Structure 1
Amino acid sequence: MVKESGMGGRLGKMLLLAALTVVLALAGEGDAHISRCFKRELPVEPDPEFSSGVAKFSLQLFRRLAEQALAQEESLFVSPYSVWSSLCLAYLGSNGKTKRELADALRLSGKSNAYVNWKFLDEMLTDETNRRSGANFVTMNKGYFSNTLQLDSCLQKSLPELEVLDFSQASEAASVVNGDVEATTQGKIKDFLDPLLLSRANFILLNAIFFKGEWEFKFKPEDTTPKPFRVSPGREVGPIPMMTQTGEFKYAVNTPLGAKVLELPYADSNYSMYLLLPSSEAEGTAEVLSQLSKRNLETSLSMLQDASVSVQLPKFSLSTTIRNQLMTTLQDMGIKDLFSQQADLVGFTVSQPLSVDETVHKATVEVTEEGTVAAAATGLAGIRVVPQQFVLDRPFVFLILNRVVGLPVMAGVFVTPPTS
């Protein structure tokens, strides 16, 4: 894992997985015709259990990546849902063993089912962007293919996510991709793709995630003070800016996750950040990660109760770029054929064998005092009971979760403050 921008690495046929700050919604123009591509009728209604499989994959992937980061004493921020979405797009063009392995790992039961439920899930996650809300979540899925490939005509007509570019004109093609990214990130990410990489690639499958949330109960900037951070027992770094407020929050102790859990809701939305502070400082986040499963998370969240809590949370920005480590982790999770010369992606094209030999995942998060309900924070300060102390001055896990579908769209482990 590295904290850097730009792209490089191995050349050749590639799949790019990315979680970026991108604002571009999915279009659904091809829904009426997609069933012909998969030779099966589309389901009439979405499967209510579909998001459960996505959540299981997401937590498993995050747990594995976080354990690797923890071993290196590095913080981590990722969007498992972004990775899942990129692989789901790959699944729609896969066959044979490649398709079976993707289906098993992603918890999918067929292309028609996957397509309809993926679309529905995206709509559920992004629905709140259509009205005033303190949380803004948008996802973009895009497949850029070289014009030297003969794409499957049915998929090309039915999937608006697929676009053909002249990769031999690398600068122009990169300008298209980078323009999509820059425009939709409001200029926050520029020159994402190196033209030299495009000149040697055949296709790119890209997913981008944007999330911005404003706290329902904001932290007052004047209450942010520098305090030390204990990376491990007896070892302090810093000081770092620590945000502070006291109020009534949903809070639980002695959970199956081996952590105290606090919910920080985003204003007028179905999104919350859940902070998982290890119950035992000695065992730390390693114990929390070892217990992080969908069942344990659901049980822990069901234990949340209103309580007066004094919260101290670091103010931080965190960016993570994961390259081939993502590939090896996905291989360990059973997705092997996709990354081999035997990869079967003839659902996209039969003109030339396609394989994947590079992955990139990039995600950023910024946690600050800002919120939208100033009066609420002021009013809650006068509670007359002795508040619980929830001080995140040592390593912790955090999840950004949509409460309606029960899906963690982004997740992180804060091990040590960023150096810059």
Structure 2
Amino acid sequence: MKSALYLCFLLLGLQVQSEHRSNLNNEQQEQKILHSTEDHSQAEGENSAHVKIAPSNADFAFSFYKQVREEAGNKNIFFSPLSISTAFAMVSLGARTNTLSQLHKGLAFNLTEMEQQEIHQGFQHVLQLLNDPHREVQLSMGNALFIDDRLKLLQKFLDDVTNFYYSEAVSSNFENSAEAIKEINNHIETKTHGKIVGLLKNLDADTVMVLVNYIFFKGYWEKPFNNLATRDDDFLLDAKNSVKVKMMHQNKPFNIHRDEKLSCWVVEIPYKGNAAALFILPDEGTMKQVEDALLKETVSNWMQSLEQRKIYLDLPKFSISSSYDVKSLFEKMGVTEVFSDQADLSGVAENTLLKISKAIHKAMVDVSENGTEAAAVTVIEMVPLLASFPPPPHIRFNRPFLMVILDKTTHSILFMGKIVNPAAKED
């Protein structure tokens, strides 16, 4: 029996709130919105494949979060479920027998409800929509295969990863591992706009292919925070400990929901360009209760229950990153065979037995005041002066909270996280 050769996966997620933005005049802005709306309507009419895979991707996101939570302890959590599911869906193109069944189950796909072809068409459409150049959010997602000169891929696998996942195929010499590592790290650095540098430290001696998936998102708040209102404040780590943070402040209408059953506040902060961040603030002592209830039905219920209301909002600035051993996490979720000598990836390459030796994911997030250039739009707000109205609630994100970044065009969860210490930079 031939010895197994290795696939290495690098999965990257990046979400950035920028501190500045180049000027766009109103006419340009209107044109961009018009194009985005037209493209979205056209896409919805032509192909709803991305809608079909959205529930499974959401199920995967929450089950993966709960697995991460078990190991994270009191650390920040931040990852891109869409990056991870896209990469492993690509692998499933070459998987067979029980290896394929485990991948489908781990990714929450039920083949009695959709065909394999529909899964890949769904990801194809997500990639098309996310990479639409007319969108107002700066959003890009892509894949690359770095393939050793000695490995002969099956033409069907190469065609499928290119057609469905728009993957670049790069010929590499893995016998010179230092050069291969440098080439892959340079690719990652370029695609993440210099935010993730030197990620890959080493390669297994038998590595013959490295798959890289990246997602880069740079969003601008529809209603930016005024940096003059940002002040030093305490963030409560627990009952006894706190850290100093830069706390941003707004006093405006937001879509909010008070979930009395789960004892938490939900605040939606929209980005320009059909994306939004949900910030979930559990009451003291109820974080686990809220986390346990994280399901697509829960988030769907929150979204449907949002109502616009003026609030006093405090939200910390933060910049954090997290890294994960996806192989270890997947094995705990029951996806084991693809990493073992029993792996059946016979649909990938000719006359070569393959297994995945390594799968790592790194994501970072940077949240700050600027959602957009303040001068781009002027909003005049009028509120009734009626004493019978209850005072606006003061929602202070000054203790651990959850964050979900949604792309409304593709119905995708781009990123998920738990911020337990905004002052902790690194994972």
TM-aligned CA distance change 1:339 to 1:383, over 3 Å: farther
Matched-pair contact (CA < 8 Å) for 1:257–1:297: no
How many angstroms does 1:254 deviate by? Answer: 1.8
* 1:172 paired to 2:179: yes
Preserved contact between residue 67 and residue 329 of structure 2 (Cα < 8 Å):
yes
Partner SS for 2:217: strand
Which residue of the partner structure matches residue 19 of structure 1?
12
- CA distance, structure 2, for counterparts of residue 93 and residue 184 of structure 1: 25
Aligned to 2:346: 346
- The reply on whether 1:147 has 2:149 as its aligned counterpart is yes
CA distance in 2, matches of 1:281, 1:369: 26
Q: Give RMSD over aligned pairs.
A: 2.6
Deviates more, 1:145-154 or 1:219-228: 145-154
The counterpart of 1:316, out of the listed 301, 314, 318, is 318
* Worse-matched range after superposition: 177-186 or 410-419: 177-186
Q: 1:345 to 1:255 in 2, by over 3 A?
A: farther
Structure 2: how far apart are the matches of 1:302 and 1:396? 21
C-alpha distance after superposition, 1:66-99 (max 9, x if no partner): 3432xx2111110011110111011011011100
In 1, are the aligned partners of 2:81 and 2:415 still within 8 Å (CA)?
yes
Between the aligned partners of 1:377 and 1:274, the Cα distance in structure 2 is 24
Q: Please state if 1:370 is matched with 2:363.
A: no
Q: 1:387 to 1:395 in 2, by over 3 A?
A: same
Cα deviation per residue 1:227-279 (whole Å; 9 max; x = unaligned)?
Answer: 111112x3231221110111000000025654210000002x1100000001x
The CA deviation string for residues 348-405 of structure 1, in whole angstroms up to 9 with x for no partner, is 1142211123221100000000122636787459785632111000111000001233
The answer to whether the Cα contact below 8 Å between 1:395 and 1:415 also exists between their aligned partners in 2 is yes
Give the structure with the larger strand fraction: 2
In structure 2, the residue matched to 1:86 is 87
Q: Is the 8 A contact 1:144 1:165 kept in 2?
A: yes
What is the TM-score normalised by the length of structure 1?
0.83
Equivalent of 1:282 in 285, 303, 317? 285
Question: What's the TM-score, normalizing by structure 2?
Answer: 0.82
* Counterpart contact for 1:174–1:198, Cα < 8 Å: no
Structure 2 equivalent of residue 305 of structure 1: 307
Asked if 2 retains the 8 angstrom alpha-carbon contact of 1:219 and 1:369, the reply is yes
| The 10-residue stretch of structure 1 (181-190 or 311-320) with the greater mean CA deviation from structure 2 | 181-190
Q: In the aligned structure 2, how far is the partner of 1:371 from the partner of 1:22?
A: 13
Shift of 1:125: 2.8
Match of 1:412 among 400, 414, 417: 417
Amino acid aligned to 2:360 = V
The answer to whether the 8 A contact 1:13-1:357 is kept is yes
Q: Counterpart of 2:22?
A: none
Report how many aligned residue pairs link the two structures.
379
- How far apart in 2 are the matches of 1:168 and 1:295? 49
Distance in structure 1 (CA, Å) of the matches to 2:170 and 2:423: 37
| Structure 2, unpaired ranges of 5+ | 17-45
Structure 2 Cα separation of the partners of residues 257 and 136 of structure 1: 34
CA–CA separation in structure 1 for the residues paired with 2:69 and 2:301: 21
Question: Aligned partners of 2:324 and 2:63: how far apart in 1?
Answer: 16
Q: Do 1:255 and 1:303's aligned partners in 2 also have CA atoms closer than 8 Å?
A: no
Could you tell me which amino acid in structure 2 is paired with residue 19 of structure 1? L
- Tell me the secondary structure at the aligned position of residue 123 of structure 1: helix
- Kept after mapping to 1: 8 A contact 2:6/2:354: yes
Structure 1 residues 20-53: Cα deviation after superposition (integer angstroms, max 9, x where no partner): 4499xxxxxxxxxxxxxxxxxxx98736322111
Q: Does 1:114 align with 2:119?
A: yes
Distance in 2, matches of 1:22 and 1:260, equals 23
Is it true that 1:215 corresponds to 2:254 in the alignment?
A: no
Q: In the TM superposition, what is the alpha-carbon distance from 1:200 to its structure 2 partner?
A: 4.2
Secondary structure in 1 aligned to 2:358?
coil
